[in-house]
Chain A
Amino acid sequence: MRLLLGTLFGLAVAAFVGLGLTYYTLARGAAFGGLTIEGWTAWPKSGTTDADPYVRASIARNGRLPTALGDGVSFTVDSDDDGKILDGRCEVVISGVTPIARFWTLTLYKPDGELVANSTNRYGFTSQEIVRHSDGSFEIVVAPRANSGNWLPTGGVERYELILRLYDTAVGVSTKAGREVPMPDVTTRSCP
């Protein structure tokens, strides 16, 4: 009886630890080999056949097609430079410049990958439609209410993430954080 009880207990611990770890790593997107530059994280290897089992499992689980490395690299950010989670009710400013790429797009998603409904049907910006300062830098205001300049509406959602996709770029598997890869700053300006 003691043996049976002990075995069951051991197996229960195994199931809890094993499945719990799997769920946690995939839900948090805690994959290895991430490239984090100023808060923006990319997994360049997820777009190659070198993708590790964690990346493969997370791709299969959420149902997306990853950006292939020959196409581009996508950087995700879900908190501002102070580490505060991005909140759709706040006014957040994305400012600065991006690494060199032929084109880039910046898109706002809910954490599950859906676009956010808004009255202007604007879900993101491309590098061509953005209004820039004379020195080439730009400023995008991510806010629930209309704003002058480059306004990206949040629809007031509680949490969101921004994905910066660089197309036809030299940024890739061998890239390291540094001066060649300047990422835009993410600052929360005001919160209600």
Chain B
Amino acid sequence: MIRWLLLILGGVLLGGIVHLATVIILPRTATQDAYARLTALAPVNTIVALPAPTPEKAVMPFMDPAFASAVCRYDLSQGPLKLTVPVSPAYTSVSFYTRNDVAYYAINDRAAGRRVIELDLMTTAQHDQVPEDEEVTAADRLIVESPTPTGVIAIRALAPEPGLMRAAQAAIAAAKCGTAQPEPPPTPQPRPRR
């Protein structure tokens, strides 16, 4: 009798470990997470507008139907990414997710404080390579560090009324996302002759 009780106790303890292990491993093995769903739909480093969710079909569950949305699935291995999003009349937000769908940064139109949300996305290593003086001169440039080399940016514009959905979609459609072109080395200015 004692023997079986001990076995049950041991089993429950081991079960606790199994539980914790499966919870931690699950995000790495999930095949239907948001990133995987978007992989089938969106090529890397370009903006792809998502169709509005309908009862029959939605790219992801729990999408807010009042928003026009687009995603940019990014891969920073080729270099930093430049993102520009013109704000819509009502409310625009840009949210950044890691490869495992963890939100690590978000900014909205009011926080950006301009007509266009402009920022550079890079890994920590790439950020370290940015010359410091350049960072100072480009103080108005917003730099976001991605914890993972790949991930997803979700760009969303609110249509406060159904009639404004078109305006929201138009704002999203003008958004751009792409690897920053390496700036050409400054051509030496010919010295003015005396």
Specify whether A and B are partners.
yes
Interface residues on B, range: 35 or more
A47, B103: Cβ atoms closer than 8 Å:
yes
Please encode chain B, from 141 to 175, with 1 for each CB lying within 8 Å of some chain A CB and 0 for all others. 00000010000101010111110000000000000
Contact with B along A122-149 (1 / 0, CB 8 A): 0110111100000000000000000000
Q: Which of B26, B91, B104, B154 contacts A61 (CB 8 A)?
A: B26
Grouping DSSP codes into helix (H, G, I), strand (E, B) and loop, the B interface class, with mixed when no group exceeds half, is mixed
Total chain A interface residues with beta-carbon distance under 8 A? 61
Tell me which residues across on chain A come within 8 A of B97, comparing CB atoms: 65, 68
Chain B residues with CB below 8 A from A68, complex form: 93, 95-97, 103-106
**Would you call B105 and A65 a contact (CB within 8 A)?**
no
How many angstroms from the CA of A72 to the CA of B58 in the assembled complex? 21
The reply to whether A17 and B103 contact each other, CB–CB distance below 8 Å, is no
Assembly CA distance A12 to B15 (angstroms): 9
Task: Kindly state whether residue B188 has any CB partner on chain A within 8 Å.
Answer: no
Neighbour of B93 across the interface among A9, A71, A105, A117, CB < 8 A: A71
Contact B62 A21 (CB under 8 A): no
* Min CB gap B145→A, angstroms: 11
Q: When the two chains form the complex, which single residue of A6, A61, A107 contacts B7, counting CB atoms closer than 8 Å?
A: A6
Q: In whole Å, how far is B140's beta carbon from the nearest beta carbon of chain A?
A: 19
User: Given contacts A13-B12, A68-B103, are A63 and B32 in contact (CB under 8 A)?
Assistant: yes
> What DSSP secondary structure best describes chain A's contact surface?
mixed
Residue B115 interfacial (CB < 8 Å): no
Interface residues of B (CB under 8 A from A): 3-4, 7-8, 10-24, 26-27, 30, 32-34, 36-37, 53-56, 58, 60-66, 90-91, 93, 95-97, 100-108, 110-111, 147, 152, 154, 156, 158-162
Extra contacts besides A18-B15, A124-B65 (12): CB < 8 Å: A6-B7, A22-B22, A57-B26, A63-B32, A65-B34, A65-B97, A65-B101, A67-B95, A70-B106, A71-B95, A114-B61, A126-B158
